[in-house]
Amino acid sequence: MGQVTVNRDAAVSIRGVVKHYGSITAVDGLDLDVYPGTCLGLLGPNGAGKSTTMRMLTAQTHADRGEIQVLGYQIPRESKHARALMGVVPQQDNVDIELTARQNLSVFAHLYRVPAGQRKTAVDRALRMAQLTDRADTKAEKLSGGMRRRLLIARGLVHDPRLVLLDEPTVGLDPQVRQELWALIDALRSDGVTVLMSTHYIEEAERLADDVAIMSHGRIIAQGTPRSLLDEHAGKEAIEYYGPPNRLVEVEAIVAAAGLRTRRSGPAVTVLRAEELPDSVAVQLGPGSPRPSNLEDVFVVLTGETVE
């Protein structure tokens, strides 16, 4: 775990951070860097410590040990400055349901101290980003789930932040709404905004993140581009074999004998790094369903757990 001090070139740099809640260790020696202009996906199952990490970056949770720096500011000591420059999109929808979309954004333009002369511009821009211009004067409680989530995201962008923290931005949304939000997040990244996004959706991390950090039990166990993580830990291809339980056991035995790894996923056994499977073994195994390897394979290889 290389450096002991924070990395000054990174937009977010975390070193050796530990956080206990009673006897539970939520974050356990976390090291993480997010470089300016990149999107880092923090991937891990529920309870891995992702949300605690997010809260620590805004100083709503104070680390027991370790160092955190955000946009050059020490956290928690100078967190107010850092918070002025970053936008936070929480996991839980906490827009003011009594207020209209425009009022919600206007209040946050105040809170983020957008100067009075630019407040209207900032709010109009946020409304356009959230595609809520024609619903601007609708009370938030009357907006659909997808619209409310877009409002929640726009609220964290109203002051044109340099860094955006997204905590499980699409959790609980239907696939179509999720696609819309992905387009919005992707646009942010193309615009040079640094994004730190926690998620337990593998596909979300693969689609949006330049870099993925895999988190388990409060620490980062692997980090890199989705491609390099796949190359290093899961290979190019996986083959799934379906069948009754005794057949699955048989497949596992054959593959283990050939020196490769498998994992169970529901009613199937998946052979990882299948491109290295010798032809003789492939014949022995019979027909399977090949697919490209994915981050979930990486995750399972590294932790032995499944993400969802």
Partner 1 sequence: MSLVSERLKPGVTERWVRLRWFEPQCLAAVWSRELALFKRYWASTTFASIVEPTIYLLAFGVGFGTLVSVIDGRPYIEFLGTGIVATAVLFTSVFAGMFVTFVRRIYQQTYAALLATPVDVHEVVTGEATWHAAKAGVYGCAPLLVAIAFGLDPSPGMVTVPLIGFLTGLGFALFGIWASAVVPSIDSFNYIISAVITPLFLVAGTFFPLDDLPDWALLLAQFNPLYHCVELVRAAAFGFEPLIDLYHVGALIVFATLMWWLAVRWMRKRLID
* Contact residues for partner 1, defined by CB under 8 A: 21, 58-62, 80-81, 83-85, 88, 90, 92, 94, 96-99, 103, 106-108, 110-115, 118, 121-122, 125, 128-129, 155-156, 159-162, 183-184, 187-188, 190-191, 193
Tell me how far, at minimum, the Cβ of 188 lies from partner 1, in Å.
6
Can you say whether the dihedral through the CA atoms of 150, 155, 160, 164 is positive or negative? negative
* Pick 191 or 308: Cβ nearer partner 1: 191
Euclidean distance between the first and the last CA atom of the chain, given in angstroms as a whole number: 28
* Pick 81 or 217: Cβ nearer partner 1: 81
* Pick 183 or 257: Cβ nearer partner 1: 183
Residue 169 contacts residue 197 (beta carbons within 8 Å): yes
Tell me how far, at minimum, the Cβ of 224 lies from partner 1, in Å.
27
* Pick 133 or 228: Cβ nearer partner 1: 133
* Pick 134 or 308: Cβ nearer partner 1: 134
Tell me how far, at minimum, the Cβ of 138 lies from partner 1, in Å.
14
| Phi/psi at 154 (5° precision) | -60, -35
Q: How far apart are CA 294 and CA 308, in angstroms?
A: 14
Angstrom CA distances, 242 to 76, 198, 235, 236, stand at: 51, 32, 21, 20
Tell me how far, at minimum, the Cβ of 83 lies from partner 1, in Å.
4
Tell me how far, at minimum, the Cβ of 108 lies from partner 1, in Å.
7
Residue 16 contacts residue 31 (beta carbons within 8 Å): yes
Question: Which residues are CB-neighbours of 98 under 8 A, at least 6 positions away?
Answer: 139, 140, 141
Tell me how far, at minimum, the Cβ of 159 lies from partner 1, in Å.
5
Tokens of 15: 């070193």
| Phi/psi at 173 (5° precision) | -105, 155
- Long-range Cβ contact pairs of 223-232 (< 8 A, separation 24 or more): 223/32, 226/295, 229/295, 229/298, 230/293, 230/294, 230/295, 230/297, 230/298
* Pick 124 or 250: Cβ nearer partner 1: 124
* Pick 50 or 155: Cβ nearer partner 1: 155
Place of tokens 């955190």: 68
Tell me how far, at minimum, the Cβ of 23 lies from partner 1, in Å.
15
